[in-house]
């Protein structure tokens, strides 16, 4: 099932922080349909049900962090059990860029979230 060309692209956000959800929704909500899960364990199931065009993972989400969740999504896609979906990480600090580089994530942004950078990155990842 492919998304309608008239529908806003679906974005799946995994975060347990309400302020991050609010900021991502403010940055993308007008042009993207933002769905939320609160733990890394929920992401795979949500990818199957929502069929997002982009997954955004907070670095620290519940009992399964963004790096582990990104690796899982990419491995499941390579095995054919999940669709290939671009992944973006939201990092806590610039020093976390090393972790992001080991996660197979397609892009990352260091918090605090720059709305313009988030929107631009999301559009580029979805268009790729």
Domain boundaries, the chain: 10-127
Element (H, E) at 37: strand 33-37
Res. 32: pLDDT tops 70: yes
State the helix-helix crossing angle for 18-28 and 115-127, rounded to 10 degrees.
Answer: 70
Contact 65, 74 (CB under 8 A): no
Burial 22-37 (b: 16+ CB within 10 A, else e): ebbeebbeeebbbebb
Res. 1: pLDDT tops 50: no
* Mean pLDDT, residues 37-54 taken together: 96
pLDDT for 3: 47
Residue 100, Ramachandran bin (φ over 0: left; ψ between -120 and 50: alpha; else beta) = alpha
Res. 111: pLDDT tops 70: yes
Res. 22: pLDDT tops 90: yes
pLDDT band at 90 (very low <50, low <70, confident <90, very high): very high
pTM of the predicted protein model:
0.93
pLDDT digits (tens, 9 = 90+) for 54-68: 999 999 987 789 999
Mean pLDDT, the chain, whole residue set: 93
Which ranges in the chain belong to alpha helices (H)?
A: 18-28, 43-50, 66-78, 97-101, 115-127
pLDDT for 4: 46
| Topology (CATH) of 10-127 | Rossmann fold (3.40.50)
pLDDT for 5: 53
């Amino acid at each position: 099932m492919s998304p309608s060309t008239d529908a806003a692209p679906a974005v799946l956000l995994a975060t347990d922080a309400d302020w991050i959800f609010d900021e991502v929704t403010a940055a993308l909500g007008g042009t993207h349909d933002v769905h939320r899960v609160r733990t890394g364990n929920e992401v795979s199931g949500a990818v199957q049900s929502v069929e997002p065009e982009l997954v955004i993972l907070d670095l620290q989400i519940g009992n399964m962090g963004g790096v582990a969740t990104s690796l899982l999504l990419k491995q499941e896609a390579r095995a054919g059990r999940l669709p290939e979906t671009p992944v973006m990480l939201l990092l806590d600090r610039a020093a976390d860029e090393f972790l992001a580089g080991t996660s197979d994530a397609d892009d990352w942004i260091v918090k605090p979230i720059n709305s313009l950078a988030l929107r631009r990155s999301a559009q580029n990842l979805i268009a790729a």
